[in-house]
Structure 1
Amino acid sequence: MSNASLLDRFAALDSAAVSDALDQLGLPSGVGGIHPVWGPATLVGFAVTVGLEPRAEGPARAHIATTTVESADDQSVIVVDNQGRTDVSCWGGILSLGAAERGVRGVVADGVCRDVTEARELGFPVFSRGSIPATARGRLQQRSAGEPVSIAGLTVEQGDVVVADETGLVVVPRERAEEVARIATAIVARERAIADEVRAGVPLAQAMHDARLAGEKEPVR
């Protein structure tokens, strides 16, 4: 399956369905607490990772995440590990502009951002723990790029599939992505069938029982 086709399959899903599929496979099922900062949004793309750390004394470096933005493309979601810090921004307006110019799909940050208005005007999705005006300059430096990072306890590797929406964030290991997409698609179809029955008047307890939600076959009578 091509990368584009794989992302299209995940774009037809939401974080809850993908989480259920990950559960079935014994994989981490996703996290909450990281939300779109300027309006409803959904992100689906391949992770491009960057890790940050507190600024240390020494010569000035390139601004955080700039090289990561330059390496990303229109299938990318930039994933920023700022260790959950909420006292300093780890993503701002010029980074949003640079990423939008490259067609990047959005950013997910385990931290907070600033320049929310600029991101909204660009139509660039930013998911984070909130916002703050405090700049990263003099406070943060880049620790890594393209290496595994941790986002709210989830390990994210370069190229993993990221799905983020208003419910939460899920991360699918790239080597399991097709399997997860197949299971999640079946889950969505099953839940739609249940919803159709409820709308048609079937009692909720009959339509929505654990065995059926789990995809188990009805016993033969």
Structure 2
Amino acid sequence: MTAVVDALRALLPAGDLTCALSDALGRGGALDGTFRPVWPGACCAGEAVTVRTFGTDLSPVFGAIEVAEPGSVVVIDSHGIGGAAFWGERTTRAALARDLAGAVIDGGCRDVTAVRRLGFPVFSTAVVPNAGLPGGRGAVNVPIQAGGIPVSPGDLVVADENGVVIVPRDFAASTLERVRVLLAEEQQAFVQADRGVAVPPDATEEGRPRSE
């Protein structure tokens, strides 16, 4: 899995990697469009450390940071709560100290100026000043739902300015290979487009679409 994550991270700077990943997953895998980076240009890739919150309790978020391996992405299922923030400057600093790759929150983030200044990639469905409170409830590294997509611990999370894509752990290696094929095909299509030839995407023999 480490090799797959490293390969995808190497592709991130080119931009729009989540689009190729979604294509490789049959035009699926993306969390809904409410997930946005809290600062322009944010991107990340890593294995998911999942969090299921209880109400506005922040405790499991800090718990996830403490147990996360370097390079992980914290994925928080707050059940769509948009009136309280589950991430901010304190969690960002703690995550950076643990060398985590990013955070994805089905809920609110705050301290966005500090998060941007610190350069930590955060994707959330809301930005709100209200902070949650610790209460000792919630769960870490359990199956969750985020943006209509199931996420399990260890699934691959890739996020850029287009949004967030979840790749099930068991399909990570095959998805990477498919992405490489799609990107090569896309470059050929771009050459034709630059010549004034518009080539629509086709379905592969496996029934999965080529790039647009």
The residue number in structure 1 matching 2:50 is 49
Q: Residue 141 of structure 1: CA displacement?
A: 5.9
> Which segments of 5 or more consecutive residues in structure 1 lack a partner in the other structure?
56-60, 217-221
1:76-115 Cα distance to aligned partner (Å, 9 max, x none): 0000111121111111211110001110011000001111
Q: Quick one: structure 1 residues 134 and 141, their matched pair in 2 at CA, closer, same or farther if it must change by over 3 Å?
A: farther
Which structure's CA Rg is the greater one?
1
Of 192, 203, 210, the residue aligned with 2:197 is 203
Q: Separation in 2 of the partners of 1:141 and 1:188? A: 45
1:146-185 deviations in Å (ceiling 9; x for gaps): 0011101111000000011111111011111001111111
The alpha-carbon deviation at position 62 of structure 1 amounts to 7.7
Partner in structure 2 of residue 219 of structure 1: none
**Range 4-13 or range 146-155, more displaced:** 4-13
Partner of 1:149: 144
- Please list every run of 5 or more consecutive structure 2 residues that lacks an aligned counterpart in the other structure: 206-212
Alignment pair present for 1:119 and 2:119 = no
Matched, 1:36 2:32: no
TM-score w.r.t. the length of structure 1 is: 0.83
* 3-state SS of paired residue (1:80): strand
CA contact (8 A) 1:161 1:173 kept: yes
Task: Provide the C-alpha distance between the structure 1 equivalents of 2:58 and 2:151, rounded to a whole number of angstroms.
Answer: 23
Please show how residues 1-221 of structure 1 align to structure 2 within 5 Å.
3-11=1-9, 12=11, 14-23=17-26, 28-31=28-31, 32-54=33-55, 63-137=59-133, 142-199=137-194, 201-204=195-198, 208-211=199-202, 214-215=203-204
Q: How many residues align?
A: 199
Q: CA deviation at 1:39?
A: 2.1
Q: TM-score, normalised by structure 2?
A: 0.87
Q: What is the CA distance between 1:63 and its match in structure 2?
A: 3.0
